[in-house]
C-alpha cells in the first residue's frame, strides 16, 4: 500500500491513471475508484465498497455485493488485485475500503492519492511519495501540447511561452487550462490574456485550487490567508510569534497546512505556490485586497505591527 500526495492540480490522478494503465493486466482484478472524497460524502462508504467489488468482478448488478466490509474480505482475501483510491481525505475511507493487507491476496497493490499527507500516516501504508511541480522542460512540453497540439513551440512564441510558464509555475492543471484557452489564438491575444491574468486569475484554475481550502477550520484558513497576504517568504518563528499573539493556534495550524500541501517550509521560511497565493487573495474581501495592494512596504509593515495579525478578522467569502 503506497500513497501519493500533493496540492490540487499537481497531477496525482494523472500519475495514478498512468500507473494503472501500465500494470493492470498483471492482476486478477482491478479497480480505480475516482473522487473518493466527494463520493464518500455524497453516497457513503457502503456504496463505494459495492462499486469497488463491482469493478473487480466486472459485475453489472451491484446489488450482489451489498454485504459491506465482510463481503469485501470474503471475496478478495485470495485474489491478487490492483486498487487505486483517488482523492482520499480521511483515514476512515481507507479503513472502510482497503482495511488490512490480509483482505487481499498475495501480490496485491493498493495506491492512494490525497492532498493530505496526514491521511497516509494510516498504519498499513508502506511508503509515501510527494508529487511536485514540473521542471521547466516538462512544463513547456505539456503547455505546448495544449496550446499548439504539438510538443514544440515556434520561435515567434518562445518568449511569450516563457511568460506563461512563469505564471503557472509548473502546475500541470494550470498548464493544461491556460494552454487550451490560448489554442488557435494569435500572439496579440496571448499577450492580452497573460496581462489580464495579473488582475483576473483564471477561474477554472482557481476553482480547482479552492477545493483545497474546503474543510479548513477558521484557525487554519486565517493562517493561510495571512501568509498569502503578508508572510510568504518570512521566517516561520517570527510569523508564529505574531499570529500566536493574535489568538491563532499557529503550531498545529501550520502543520495542518503543510500536510495539506497548502504551505511549504524551506530553510525555516514559509512559502506557497503563486497560484495558491492568488487563491488566498481571491477568497478575501476584494476591497481589502485592493487596499492592501496599494500599500508601500513601509506602510504594510506599519499595518501588520498595528493590527498584529493582518487579516485575522477579515471576512472570507467563497
Parts of the chain with a pLDDT under 70? 60-69, 285-318
- The secondary structure element, H or E, covering residue 75 is helix 68-76
Whole-number pLDDT of residue 283: 83
Please give the helix or strand (H or E) that residue 117 lies within, else none.
Answer: none
pLDDT score for 310: 52
| DSSP-assigned letters across all residues of 259-286 | HTTS-EEETTEEE--HHHHHHHHHTB-H
pLDDT at 60: 66
> Residue 153: what pLDDT?
86
Which three cell numbers, joined as nine digits, stand for 134? 514540473
Helix (H) or strand (E) holding 32: strand 29-33
Angle subtended at Cα 258 by Cα 215 and Cα 306, rounded to the nearest 5 degrees: 85
> What local confidence, expressed as pLDDT, does residue 174 receive?
95
The residue ranges of DSSP E strands in 203-258, in sequence order, are: none
Pairing of strands 264-266, 127-130: unpaired
pLDDT for residue 192: 95
How buried is 244 (Cβ within 10 angstroms: 0-12 exposed, 13-18 middle, 19+ buried)?
middle
Q: Are strands 269-271 and 264-266 parallel, antiparallel or unpaired?
A: antiparallel
Closest listed residue to residue 222, CA positions, set 171, 271, 256, 199: 256
Predicted local confidence at residue 307, as pLDDT: 46
Amino acid at each position: 500500500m503506497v500513497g501519493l500526495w500533493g496540492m490540487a492540480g499537481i497531477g496525482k490522478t494523472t500519475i495514478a491513471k498512468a500507473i494503472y494503465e501500465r500494470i493492470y493486466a498483471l492482476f486478477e482484478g482491478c479497480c480505480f475508484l475516482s473522487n473518493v472524497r466527494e463520493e464518500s460524502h455524497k453516497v457513503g462508504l457502503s456504496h463505494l465498497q459495492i462499486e469497488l467489488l463491482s469493478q473487480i468482478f466486472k459485475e453489472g448488478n451491484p446489488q450482489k455485493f451489498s454485504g459491506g466490509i465482510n463481503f469485501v474480505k470474503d471475496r478478495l482475501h485470495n485474489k491478487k488485485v490492483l486498487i487505486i483510491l483517488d482523492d482520499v481525505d480521511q483515514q476512515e475511507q481507507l479503513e472502510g475500503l482497503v482495511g488490512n493487507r490480509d483482505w487481499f491476496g498475495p501480490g496485491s497493490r493498493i495506491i492512494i492519492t490525497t492532498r493530505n499527507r496526514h491521511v497516509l500516516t494510516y498504519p498499513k501504508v508502506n511508503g509515501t511519495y510527494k508529487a511536485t511541480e514540473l521542471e521547466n522542460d516538462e512544463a513547456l512540453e505539456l503547455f505546448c501540447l495544449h496550446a499548439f497540439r504539438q510538443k514544440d513551440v515556434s520561435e515567434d512564441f518562445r518568449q511569450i511561452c516563457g511568460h506563461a510558464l512563469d505564471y503557472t509555475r509548473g502546475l500541470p492543471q494550470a498548464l493544461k487550462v491556460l494552454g487550451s484557452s490560448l489554442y488557435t489564438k494569435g500572439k496579440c491575444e496571448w499577450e492580452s490574456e497573460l496581462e489580464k491574468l495579473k488582475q483576473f486569475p483564471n477561474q477554472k484554475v482557481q476553482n480547482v485550487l479552492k477545493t483545497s481550502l474546503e474543510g479548513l477550520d477558521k484557525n487554519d484558513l486565517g493562517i493561510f490567508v495571512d501568509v498569502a497576504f503578508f508572510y510568504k517568504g518570512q521566517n516561520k518563528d517570527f510569523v508564529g510569534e505574531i499570529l500566536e499573539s493574535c489568538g491563532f493556534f499557529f503550531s498545529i495550524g501550520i502543520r495542518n497546512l503543510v500536510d495539506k500541501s497548502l504551505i511549504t517550509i524551506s530553510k525555516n521560511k514559509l512559502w506557497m505556490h503563486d497560484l495558491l497565493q492568488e487563491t488566498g487573495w481571491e477568497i478575501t474581501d476584494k476591497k481589502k485586497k485592493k487596499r492592501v495592494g496599494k500599500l508601500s512596504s513601509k506602510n504594510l509593515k506599519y499595518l501588520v505591527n498595528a493590527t498584529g495579525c493582518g487579516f485575522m478578522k477579515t471576512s472570507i467569502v467563497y
